[in-house]
Structure 1
Amino acid sequence: MNQHSRSIWDLSHEVSMILRRLLAMLTALIIFWWGLIPEVALAQTQTAPPLQRPQAPSSIQPYLDRTMKQLTEFRLENGMKFIVLERHQAPVVSFLTYANVGGVDEPDKKTGVAHFLEHLAFKGTTRIGTKDYKAEKPLLDRLEQLDTQIKTAKANGKQDEVLRLQAEFEQVESQAAKLVKPNEMGQIVEQAGGVGLNANTSTEATRYFYSFPANKLELWMSLESERFLAPVIRREFYKEKDVILEERRMRIENSPIGLMVEKFIDTAYKVHPYRRPVIGYDEDIRNLTPEDVEKFFDTHYVPSNLAIAIVGDVNPTEVKKLAQIYFGRFPAKPKAVEQIPVEPSQKQTREVTLQLNSQPWYLEGYHRPAVTHPDNVIYEMIGSLLSDGRTSRLYKSLVEKQRLALNAQGFSGFPGDKYPNLMLFYALTAPGRTVDELALALRQEIDSLKTQPVAADELQRVKTQARAGLLRTLDSNMGMAQQLLEFEVKTGSWRNLFKQLDEIAAVTPADIQRVAKQTFTPENRTIGKLLSKQA
């Protein structure tokens, strides 16, 4: 925007700050829904210094070839998969444990159990996190008994008995708390020079990760294997339940845009579990028991459903030897049979409207195929064309030129990408404008992809951005570990990660137009309108 044309659009400093916070809130919420916000953090993830990446397109393939030659993979007899990438630029190593289980795998009425389990995985084991497990265990068992009795007494309307049982519950919980060593695992990691102890749960995966100095490889093996070999899921269970309920209240129930996203995704999907929030529904979270979480753990955290990436200054031979010693202790178990219902094709436009104390927002989504579909990279290119930065079409048109929105963004692969998902677009309406005006302008930009071939220079710019973004991600030890496992688990091989550059280069304007025509149709559209009560 030119300086002389800004006066009518300059908001007060206070209002501008509020709007920026609202934009950040929605972006964080979208990321939270994806499950990318870590739950436990000690420090920034430690990585090796960036590699000297080649700049010329012709030199990228040798770089990738060298990377692939430094990669080793193996599978233990119990089925657990390991991917090891040597990077000796600095004496650090990043570790990522990938459990192929997330919100979509939860039983009905047990939503939030995958996320709950991720929280409890930091509470320690029979040796870590306790002063005396033999004394602690009967107290934890008694708490579960009392919780069941309290629920029964409430259901029977016996208020006096409820009060008596609650008093005993609080007393036993206090006794158990005295035997806990809070965050002992985190302290062990930090004292040994580890950083970035984190985890996250998404619709389709749960990830545990941190980094260590290279000479702490065996310590990581010991800590991480014990975490899943002898977890104490009952430790601080009820305390953590309160934490998660408060998290849900803050991000969804007390957040207008949080409620909007929950209603929107529930409208866009009818049977697929993508429609459920990863954090779970309030009633389901309240009713979860330690037995529910333990059963979920026993079902899904089996060796053949776990994959581990180790990237950094390591020797693959030593990694394999230690992996067999520590993770080879896990007994082999069959994977749970996947029972994910297939979402039927959408036949007409769906719409949901909420009127709350909020700035007006507009959301629009379209169903698209899973990450394994041959057109996946084309959807990614469309997303970049429309909403990747200030040079994108939505920003230039809706924000700068027409001044209908304060911001406009889009995501491909929402709320996950392992199964058919959504391309989601959202925008914050500018003062004095309506969501209907914004919807019309947004649709014009989307429809233009169907009627007008993308100019070669615009497509090349987006390809360059995508290529650079991918290579930046691969520069980081943790970023590389993450990408290797995402492709290994979701597409069947980590090698598909290194095919992306060729796939990006192969996209043509005709591909963009073809996919836009088949996707951006009225019958495939879901609309969400968040209106202000003051309007």
Structure 2
Amino acid sequence: MRNSIANVALSAAFAFIVAVAAPSIATAQEAEDDTAVSSFTLENGLDVVVIPDHRAPVATHMLWYKVGSADEEPGKSGIAHFFEHLMFKGTSTYPSGEFSAAIAAVGGSENAFTSYDFTAYYQQIAPSELPDMMRFEADRMRNLVLSEENIETERQVVLEERRQRTDNVPSSILSEELNATLYQNHPYGIPVIGWQQEIEGLTHDDLKSFYDRFYTPNNAVLVVAGDVNADAVRAMAEETYGKIARGPDLPPRARPMEPDQKTTRDVTFRDPRVTVPNLSINWYVPSARRAEKGEFEALAILSEVLGEGLRSRLYQELVVKQGIASSAGSYLQGAAYDYSALVVYGEPRGGADLETVEAALVAQIDKIRNEGITPEELETARTKILRDQIFMRDSQVRSANLFGAVLATGGKVEDITGLPERLEAVTVEAVQAAARRYLDMDHAVKGYLLPQEGDRS
């Protein structure tokens, strides 16, 4: 749905891109066959990636803008997501609804999403429809009509979305407060959808300035996956996107950084709609882009062994052996431009209470910090991460997502290769060092979602 917000709590597997079982990576000029992933840049600065997949006559056309909620000016929260809505309104060339109608008429589908670091729009259609998709998408890059009527209509839609997805959902309320606590200074602490009072205060001038600044070809990445070839995509892109003038060069994405986090913080939310309590333990950790060499790969292995999947330590110990939890695990939010989070979570089962589950989670964290992991666990985790990536390659949309997210957060196509070698370089000592450095309970932010009455049981 086009009012969706991308979930940035991505697993470690999603944060990685792998060349295993994928076509080779090459520039368009170097590609010697019709299966190589290729990349090139138009004269106006638009980066283009082509991912051939000839198994079915389908194509995915995805345009990413290198702007998300973390790039908003103070006091203007929600403008990136608000603008995602406005992009589905009419342009000076095509009336409102014509783009969507054209997609529906050929049996295609469309979607869009906003995250902290990017905004993306995509369509899935037959390859023969790609020229029209590019024509429509290129048109709304510069010719959007920002009328007061459209702005007010979509403002109410966004506010209703916030009420439904955040204000009326206990877990979402807690998540919003947890982020605001974990990130003391960085804009990742501000919700992607924005604060209600700031959404209400966004003006026509705010939106027009945002559009003129960020919606330019040199601040965008086009990813085309499916039954296509690089030469044809390049010709179509030059005929459509290539005619748009380059925008002003944007300065580096300089954002406030976090101070050293020195305290444990607890965030508790009680609500009568909560019937089963749960908790999470959150740590501030570097993303793939911000980590020291080899450090993020060690964190990915750490999260995999600790709590990702049915064979992980947390699931096996709390759910299978002790039977005190209905769920227990971890995930690493690695796909970010700046620092992100590693999260451990659990929910009690039967007669167990939340304090018992928390103690068991902490015991497993302490064990991995004090004793590390085994060589067998390391090898299993490596294999699982690579296997997960192979399965992801089976979906055009997910492949396009993987490439787009890397380029939209400061990476290059060349950065996508080399994962097997980077994982192979991780040692059990490196994983334990990462656990000791980052999984410090004295620096954790704990979140408790509880019923209205009673203790943590």
CA offset at residue 363 of structure 1?
Answer: 1.4
Moved more, 387-396 or 277-286: 387-396
Distance 1:411 1:106 in 2: 27
* Percent of residue pairs identical: 29
- SS of the aligned residue for 1:236 comes to helix
Q: What is the one-letter code of the residue matched to 1:384?
A: E
Determine if contact 1:99/1:207 at 8 Å carries over to the other structure: yes
| 1:409 has 2:409 as partner | no
Q: Count how many residue pairs are aligned between Structure 1 and Structure 2.
A: 429
| 1:203 has 2:169 as partner | no
CA offset at residue 194 of structure 1?
Answer: 2.2
- SS of the aligned residue for 2:55 comes to coil
Question: Deviations 1:454-500 (Å, cap 9, x if unpaired)?
Answer: 22222222222211111111232222222122223335311222222
Distance 1:480 1:100 in 2: 18
Question: Deviations 1:356-380 (Å, cap 9, x if unpaired)?
Answer: 2223221111111121223112212
| 1:488 has 2:454 as partner | no
Aligned to 2:375: 456
Aligned to 1:531: 450
Aligned pairs (5 A) from 1:119-134: 119-130=85-96
Q: Please, which of 259, 268, 277 is the counterpart of residue 360 of structure 1?
A: 277
CA offset at residue 100 of structure 1?
Answer: 0.7
Q: Please, which of 133, 136, 139 is the counterpart of residue 220 of structure 1?
A: 133
Change (3 A) 1:284 1:35: farther
Determine if contact 1:35/1:203 at 8 Å carries over to the other structure: no
Gaps of 5+ in 1: 1-29, 37-56, 131-182
Q: What is the one-letter code of the residue matched to 1:301?
A: Y
Distance 2:264 2:390 in 1: 38
Determine if contact 1:346/1:523 at 8 Å carries over to the other structure: no
Question: Deviations 1:81-106 (Å, cap 9, x if unpaired)?
Answer: 11123333332221111111101011
Determine if contact 1:356/1:531 at 8 Å carries over to the other structure: yes
Q: What is the one-letter code of the residue matched to 1:90?
A: A
Give TM-score, length-normalised by structure 1. 0.75
Aligned to 2:437: 518
Determine if contact 2:282/2:342 at 8 Å carries over to the other structure: yes
Aligned pairs (5 A) from 1:9-408: 33-34=7-8, 63-64=21-22, 66=24, 68=26, 69=31, 70-130=36-96, 183-195=97-109, 197-234=110-147, 236-337=150-251, 338-357=253-272, 358=274, 359-372=276-289, 373=291, 374=293, 375-408=295-328
Moved more, 515-524 or 502-511: 502-511
CA offset at residue 296 of structure 1?
Answer: 1.0
Question: Deviations 1:132-169 (Å, cap 9, x if unpaired)?
Answer: xxxxxxxxxxxxxxxxxxxxxxxxxxxxxxxxxxxxxx
Distance 1:204 1:126 in 2: 28
Distance 2:360 2:403 in 1: 39
Determine if contact 2:9/2:332 at 8 Å carries over to the other structure: no
Aligned to 2:14: none
- SS of the aligned residue for 2:418 comes to helix
- SS of the aligned residue for 2:95 comes to coil
- SS of the aligned residue for 1:523 comes to helix
Gaps of 5+ in 2: 11-17
Determine if contact 1:80/1:307 at 8 Å carries over to the other structure: yes
CA offset at residue 114 of structure 1?
Answer: 0.4
Change (3 A) 1:35 1:348: closer
Determine if contact 1:483/1:497 at 8 Å carries over to the other structure: no
Q: What is the one-letter code of the residue matched to 1:104?
A: A
CA offset at residue 336 of structure 1?
Answer: 3.3
Which protein has greater RCO, CA pairs closer than 8 Å, 6+ apart?
Answer: 2
Task: Please identify which structure carries the higher helix content.
Answer: 1
Moved more, 84-93 or 374-383: 84-93
Give TM-score, length-normalised by structure 2. 0.88
